[in-house]
Amino acid sequence: MSVTSTFTVLNHYREYLLERYDNFPHGRYVSVILIRKTESETIFRTEGSGEGLVKELVTAGRREATREPIQRVVISKRKQTAVERRVGRELLREHGLLGTVTVGREQRPCALNTNAPCGKCIDCMVYGYAAGGGGAQKSRVMTDDAYSLAPASLVTGTRTFNATFDNGTMRNPFDGKPSTSINEDEYVLPETHFLDTETLKDVTPGEFQYVLGNILRSSRYGAISSRQGRVRNMITAVIFSDTEIFSNLELTQEVYDLLLEAQGGNELDVPLNDALVERCVQQATDTLLRDLVGRPPLVVRGEALGRLLEETLMLYREPERLKGLLEEVTASYKDLP
């Protein structure tokens, strides 16, 4: 018996998933609506870029009274999936399920951000790859930049520090004098909420479990070199549909309006209450889905969502079963044309 056939909860939603991987698009979408909340001071920036926090000027809300521009902190889409891919690849590595690539006379394991992806492992097949020597797979996990609910001015802080020298101290290794160069670091405050949707397109039940597991097991999204921020991902709904749903920005703006109404002020009161944010996200989801052109989507939340997530948690608690599933999914790519 295959591991896939044991997903009694997920298999209820089978008509929205693919039986097996196919090269052609089928228009089956699974959107995972997420609240990402920082649990410590966090710096989101593209690794090694040396840049500060990314902020963008966008419209605050969707009501007449809130259509004014504000700055929001942005977590780039690349940043989000890079973290989750790494978490998934650790698992594949542990079970020997990353493919190998021949580079010159060498056999190398599939690696991220190199010119030599294997094109055969679950990561390459789900999140996509482009090989230098030809061959490509479009990502079937679509993400967008995520925005902070509150304006940047309310959820960021800055700290100055003396730059360290090569030897990792504040003293010059040559003359022993203290560092005089001052750097400034801008960070996101703890308990800042971001809204995000990850859209999975044409995935199989096994691939769905893999991506969901990666989201649930990722907790460090900050810049690697400096302070690592802890982020908690809370899934508020899983939506099955035959078309793409609303954007992150629309959702953020609608929730912003609902929060203002609930709090009864002109500016958000931060830190925001988790339960209130979740309630507003649910309400905003319903409002925005009404504008969707397509077959009415199936929204899984509340108890039904709890059962779906529980099934994923159980799978990840049983290493042998999980390994079996990952092997099954990997094998399903073998006989592709």
Residues contributing to the site for Zn ion (CB under 5 A): 99, 110, 117-118, 121, 124
Comparing CB distances to Zn ion, the nearer of 127 and 147 is 127
Helix-helix angle 274-289:248-263, to 10 degrees: 120
Q: Which of 213, 281, 253, 240 is nearest to 37 (CA)?
A: 281
How near is the Cβ of 149 to Zn ion at its closest, in Å?
36
Alpha helices (runs of H) in the chain, residue ranges in sequence order: 77-94, 122-127, 152-155, 205-217, 248-263, 274-289, 302-317, 319-332
Hey, how many other C-beta atoms are within 10 angstroms of the C-beta on 65?
A: 10
Comparing CB distances to Zn ion, the nearer of 111 and 313 is 111
Classified as helix, coil or strand, 43 is coil
How near is the Cβ of 121 to Zn ion at its closest, in Å?
3
Q: How far is CA 91 from the centre of its chain?
A: 17
Comparing CB distances to Zn ion, the nearer of 110 and 223 is 110
Comparing CB distances to Zn ion, the nearer of 127 and 246 is 127
How near is the Cβ of 160 to Zn ion at its closest, in Å?
42
Distance CA(89)–CA(103), nearest Å, equals 20
Tokens 């009501």 appear where?
A: 63
Comparing CB distances to Zn ion, the nearer of 117 and 151 is 117
Four-point Cα dihedral 276, 282, 284, 288, nearest 10: 170
How near is the Cβ of 124 to Zn ion at its closest, in Å?
3
How near is the Cβ of 328 to Zn ion at its closest, in Å?
17
Bond into 297 cis (ω within 30)? no
Tokens 């077959």 appear where?
A: 295
How near is the Cβ of 123 to Zn ion at its closest, in Å?
5
Comparing CB distances to Zn ion, the nearer of 124 and 315 is 124
